[in-house]
Amino acid sequence: MALGAFALAASGCNGSQEKEEDTVAQTAPEEVYEARLQSLNADITKTQTTGTARFIISGDTLTAVINVQNAPAEMEHWQHFHGFVNDSVATCASAEQDKNGDGIVDVTETEPVSGTTMVPFNARPADMQLGSDTYPRSGADGSYQYEVKVPLSQLEGAFAKSFGDSALHLDRRVLYIHGVPTDTKLPASVASVGDIPAQVTLPIACGKIEKVAN
Ligand SMILES: [Cu+2]
């Protein structure tokens, strides 16, 4: 395979010097997944939170790269993939999921289309601690760049303990970004999870995870 890639690259470059890393990169089979994040609850955030996420599985490493723009500034943002335990395909919630008609799609209202909270993208995803305080923080401009490398077998083991199946099925999941400032006034109708303040769990962006290469 490495030989084939080298030959292809060489013929395309008319015999110019080849870079060694091009051929090395081709030897490991990779799975690549991406999500484009669209804003949710922009009436509350007063901004259109967007971004991209990329998940690369190579050998026993899952690399997750999440870039977010225009999120509420200078605060921690919870982020997870959500999905269905039965592995049906999750989709992002929209205004249609505002069942109680309060103008806000809270995290419990996302469940019929997005399923449940599954894997956190904080400092240590394989710990599966959804309520940790090691999620990324946005800067003054509301953006942040997050990258983590996760031992895949560890994550799959933890995932199986929680959901009974070690397969992550990334292409059946959605990625949510959460969080508005703690002093944001929200109606009492806005639900949350357990005793976590609704400001922490309020969804502000979501993207469907799609497989782009393997
Ligand atoms: Cu979440």
Q: Domain containing 82 — which CATH number? A: 2.60.40.200
Query: Residue 213: which pLDDT band, with cuts at 50, 70 and 90?
Result: confident
Residue 42 has pLDDT above 50, yes or no: yes
Q: Is the pLDDT of residue 188 over 70?
A: yes
Instruction: Using the Cα atoms of residue 117, residue 119, residue 121 and residue 122 in order, give the sign of their dihedral.
Output: positive
* Distance of CA 177 from the midpoint of ligand 1 (Å): 6
For residue 79, give the DSSP letter: E
User: Is residue 55 classed exposed, middle or buried when 0-12, 13-18 and 19+ CB atoms within 10 A define those classes?
Assistant: buried
* Ligand 1 midpoint to CA 53 (Å): 14
Decide: helix, strand or coil at residue 126. helix
**214 CA distance to ligand 1 middle (Å):** 26
For ligand 1, the distance from its centroid to the CA atom of residue 205, given in whole angstroms, is 10
Q: Can you tell me the distance from the alpha carbon of 191 to that of 109, in angstroms, rounded to the nearest whole number?
A: 8
- Cα of 32 to ligand 1 centre, how many Å? 21
Report yes or no on 4 lying in a domain. no
Distance 121 CA to ligand 1 centre (A): 9
What per-residue confidence (pLDDT) applies to 143? 98
Distance 80 CA to ligand 1 centre (A): 4
Q: Does the global pTM surpass 0.95?
A: no
**Does any domain span residue 167?**
yes
What residues form DSSP beta bridges with 51?
37, 68
Residue 158 in domain: yes
Segment 57-75, tens digit of pLDDT: 999 999 999 999 999 999 9
95 falls within a domain: yes
pLDDT over 80 (residue 145): yes
CA of 78 to the centre of ligand 1 (A): 7
Indicate if the pLDDT at residue 12 is higher than 50.
no
What's the CA-to-centroid distance between 83 and ligand 1, angstroms? 10
Q: Find the 213 Cα to ligand 1 centroid distance in Å.
A: 25
In a domain, 11, yes or no: no
Tally of domains within the chain: 1
- Residue 204 Cα to ligand 1 middle (Å): 10
For residue 4, report the distance from its CA to the centre of ligand 1, in Å: 42
Q: Is residue 59 part of a domain?
A: yes
The answer to whether the CB of 41 falls within 8 A of the CB of 106 is: no
Looking at residue 109, its pLDDT comes to 98
Collapsed DSSP state (helix, strand, coil) of residue 203: strand
Mean pLDDT of 165-169: 95
Å from CA of 212 to ligand 1 middle? 23
- Averaged pLDDT, 101-106: 98
At residue 2 the predicted structure's pLDDT band, cuts being 50, 70 and 90, is very low
Expressed in angstroms and rounded, the spacing between residue 25 Cα and the centre of ligand 1 is 33
Domain containing 156: what range? 29-213
In a domain, 105, yes or no: yes
Does the structure show a pLDDT above 80 at 7?
A: no
Arithmetic mean of pLDDT, 129-149: 96
Instruction: Say if 17 falls within a structural domain.
Output: no
Q: Is the dihedral of CA 66, 80, 142, 34 positive or negative?
A: positive
At residue 50, the 3 state secondary structure works out as strand
